[in-house]
Amino acid sequence: MTLPDDATLTRDGLAPERPEAQVLILACGALAREILALIRANGWTHMDLMCLPAILHNHPDRIPGAVRQSVKRHRARYKTIFVAYADCGTGGKLFDLCKELGVEMLEGPHCYSFFEGNDVFRKRAEDEFTALYLTDFLTRQFDAFLWKPLGLDRHPELRDTYFGHYEKLVYQAQTDDPALTEKARACAERLGLAFERRFTGYGDLATALTQAAG
């Protein structure tokens, strides 16, 4: 299975490549590298991966409709479809949709939660409401997801308007990559925030995919 660059995963997603597989993981493009790494590491040759464009996260109301279309389009080709999205700002609509379609999905409100572990994240949440989170993917795609959509490339003076109530940037590292850590640190500096790195690995994503693999 070939993986396109981050810009393509953000804009276009990833088409499935193995229709002979039994299980389709229907995921957000922001999780493609992590899911593919888990598939390869565990030898899950019966699994295929399809990703919707990661940029849908900037319009979460569009996620349920895109998931519905994809499940209906590919259901006949696979024995099982697992939706690798958390709620992701859909206000419970994605959960309701998956229940209607009879497919399982990731637990948790968003990727920051399941990467850290939903139980751990819930315990931290009350003390970290002034934290901004980045994952590996969002660190690499910081400009595409935050800086440019908010117009900060044209009007950097708006930084305090958007981020004045934040105190720190927490980089949830899925991998040990010093270059990526420094990029996340630079993102914190651009936003005028304190920096903290936490190595999370794949967290509950690994557990959920192991269950989906059967």
* Per-residue model confidence as pLDDT tens digits over 125-163: 888 989 999 999 999 999 999 999 999 999 999 999 999
Mean pLDDT of the chain: 96
**61-107: pLDDT as tens digits:** 999 999 999 999 999 999 999 999 999 999 999 999 999 999 999 99
Q: Are 103 and 81 in contact (CB under 8 A)?
A: yes
Give the CB-side neighbour count of residue 149, counting CA atoms within 13 A: 12
Distance CA 170, CA 150 (A): 20
Please state the rounded mean pLDDT for residues 182-196: 97
- Which CATH number describes the domain made up of 6-111+202-213? 3.40.50
CA distance 59 to 70: 17
> CA-based angle 206:42:49, to the nearest 5?
70
Q: Tell me how far apart the alpha carbons of residues 5 and 182 are, in angstroms, rounded to a whole number.
A: 20
Of all residues in the chain, the percent with pLDDT exceeding 70 is 100
* Whether residue 184 has pLDDT greater than 80: yes
Q: Is the pLDDT of residue 214 over 90?
A: no
50, pLDDT greater than 80: yes
Domain-by-domain residue ranges, the chain? 6-111+202-213, 119-199
pLDDT value of residue 1:
74
| Interhelix angle 203-213/32-42, nearest 10 degrees | 50
